[in-house]
Each structure stands twice: as C-alpha cells, then as structure tokens.
Amino acid sequence: MSEIDSMTQVADIQARALLALAAVDDLPALDEWRVSFMGRRSALTQLMRSLGSLPAEDRPALGAFANTARRTLEEALSDRRREIARAQPEAAADAIDVTLPGWPTPRGGIHPTTRIVREICAAFASMGFSVVEGPEIEWDHYNFEMLNIPRHHPARDMWDTLWIDFEDADGERPMLLRTHTSPMQARIMESTRPPVRVVVPGKCYRYEATDPRHEWHFYQIEGLAVDRGIAMTDLKGTLYEFARRMFGVDRKVRFRCDYFPFVEPGVDMSIDCFLCQGDGCRVCSHTGWIEIMGAGMVHPNVLEGVGYDPNIYTGFAFGMGPERISMLKHGIEDIRLFYSNDLRFLRQFS
C-alpha cells in the first residue's frame, strides 16, 4: 500500500469515527465507541502498527498524519464525554473524569489505647525504666506457678483463664492465653541480674462477661524494679510521680492494703478525684478517690524462684489497665468502645 493510499485510509477512519461519535448519547455506548475506533484491535491502531512495512522515506509523514488523527479522536472523545455528563447528571456521578483532582485520602490516627500505652511507657522511661514485651500465649509455669500461685491454689480463681486445647504427657493443659502481663516478671528476672527496672505493656485475656467496665481482652502494663535496698518508700515515690505526670501536678495519692499472691505487702493506689477535687461525685462513687492500679513489694518466694536471694535483693511491682487510665483522663464511660471500631469514637483521638 502506498503512502497516499494509507493517508486516505486514515482520513476515512477518522471521518467514520467522528460520524459515529455524534450519534453516541450515553456513557456505555461511548466506551464501546472508544474500543471500536481507538482500541488495540481498531483499524487505526492496526494501521499504525503496519508502518514498519512501508518504505523508510514514507514512514515519517504517514506516522505524523496518523498521530494527528488519533489526537483528534481523543479530543472529540473528551468533548463528547463532557457533553453527555452535562446532559445526564446521574451518569456523571459514576463517571471518572481524569482531568479533575482526586479525592483526598483520609488521614488515620493513633488508636486511643496505643496512645495511652505510649504515654504511660514514656512516663516510666523518663524515670529509668526499660520497655519490654512478652508472649500472649503463655505457660502455666510462668503465668501462675512462678508468681507464687501453685496448682490448685485458691488464688487462681481470681483469673478467669482461657486455656489452650493442648495436653501434655500427664494429661494437663499447660498453655493458656495470659491473664496478666505479670509472667514477664519471672521471665525477665530469670535472664537478668539486678538491678532490674522494666515496664511491660501487652494484651491479656480473661473469660468473663463484658460490660461498661470489663472486656474479655484488654491491655495491661506491668512494672518491676529489683535491686539492693529497695523499700516501700521507693514504690510510693515512683507511683506518686507517675500520677502527677499523668493526671496533673496537684494530684494526691492514697495507698490501701490489698492482696496479690506475688507481692507482700500488697496495696491498691488511688488518686483524688480530679473532677470533684475529692468532694465526691458519680465518677469516684462519691468517695473522693479513684483507684488506678495495684502494687506491692515483690514476694520473697518469687525472688527465690528465679534465683535471687531475698536477703540481699528486694523490689516492687505494679500493674494497671491503660484503658482505665484513658477512660479516667478523657471521661469515657464504656471500655467496649475501645474495641468496637466505631469511627465516631476513634476520630475524637485523631
């Protein structure tokens, strides 16, 4: 085929395409037109691919002519698309106009639990504590026995345990979803010589009914300090400083006796209600105080179990629920909101 014949064929394709385009009146038909006259198997595309068979001196002119025809059709296609969109607004809603700017990508935010965990860990890190993590699937040996809670001890009833369906040679189930982050006390002391100062954030699991104050899975932050000469005054001073950093420098604290199998003596720590300033309100159950964590001096049996001499080393431990801390700081009334994936709730912390 000669150069003149090829140009005539291109002009003919362009004329037929423009004539057919004028009759298109909806977007589906417009897409069919694009495939027929500009697709990979269209006559114009096939002709442009055949340029290599022409004499070298004929190719530039014919190539330029064919490209001009293609640009003409592309412009006509864009014009016709806009005309149809104006005539059919409902069709325009589904159309993609590549000439318009894209939709902005929504920005995410840090989950409120992650935010408060980082804030708590940063407070203790500034006091010399390291941050470590541990396994969520734990051995009974670390979750209970190394924490002065031997098998069949009534203290095990304090934790509604989710056991892993795995039996050992004795027919016992030695694995579970950890009920607290305290097992890391034993794990860390087994592999570390004093001094020890760590906080352990992580998720815990308990088989219990959910309500505004309880979840079956939740975060906990465990703290441990062991060294020569550590006393109850060190525990009180450390936790008092933490309360001031989290809830304000004017906070007051209160320690009362409590029982935890792995500490002796054990205490619960409360702060004066920052809403009513201790006068009594609904948040503090009209007592003027809000409990935020349990703590105590590490039990000598726990120290002996990891090879520490309790006559030389002493220490303190504490544990808190970061979701509870967040609920107090932000006035959140239902812990289930943290895990409901409700964007109306989560966006408030973005």
Token pair for 221: 């932050």
Token pair for 51: 């340029």
125 catalytic per annotation = no
159 catalytic per annotation = yes
263 catalytic per annotation = yes
Token pair for 140: 């009974």
Please identify which of the residues 24, 66, 196, 263 carries the catalytic annotation: 263
Token pair for 105: 């990508």
Q: How many CB atoms lie within 10 A of CB 11?
A: 12
302 catalytic per annotation = no
- The answer to whether the beta carbons of residues 267 and 294 sit under 8 Å apart is yes
Token pair for 93: 């809603």
The span from the CA of 33 to the CA of 19, in Å, is 11
The span from the CA of 146 to the CA of 140, in Å, is 9
Query: Peptide bond preceding 265: is omega within 30 degrees of 0, i.e. cis?
Result: yes
Please identify which of the residues 10, 33, 66, 159 carries the catalytic annotation: 159
Q: Which of 98, 74, 97, 83 is nearest to 23 (CA)?
A: 83
Q: Are strands 130-131 and 196-205 parallel, antiparallel or unpaired?
A: parallel
CA angle 205, 123, 182 (to 5 degrees): 30
The span from the CA of 124 to the CA of 155, in Å, is 29
Please identify which of the residues 14, 117, 199, 220 carries the catalytic annotation: 220
Please identify which of the residues 33, 70, 317, 324 carries the catalytic annotation: 317
220 catalytic per annotation = yes
Query: Peptide bond preceding 201: is omega within 30 degrees of 0, i.e. cis?
Result: no
Q: Which of 289, 7, 19, 301 is nearest to 149 (CA)?
A: 301
Please identify which of the residues 80, 206, 299, 324 carries the catalytic annotation: 206
206 catalytic per annotation = yes
DSSP letter assigned to residue 152? T
The span from the CA of 225 to the CA of 155, in Å, is 24
Please identify which of the residues 178, 180, 187, 324 carries the catalytic annotation: 180
- The answer to whether the beta carbons of residues 3 and 62 sit under 8 Å apart is yes
- Write out the catalytic residue numbers: 159, 180, 206, 220, 263, 317
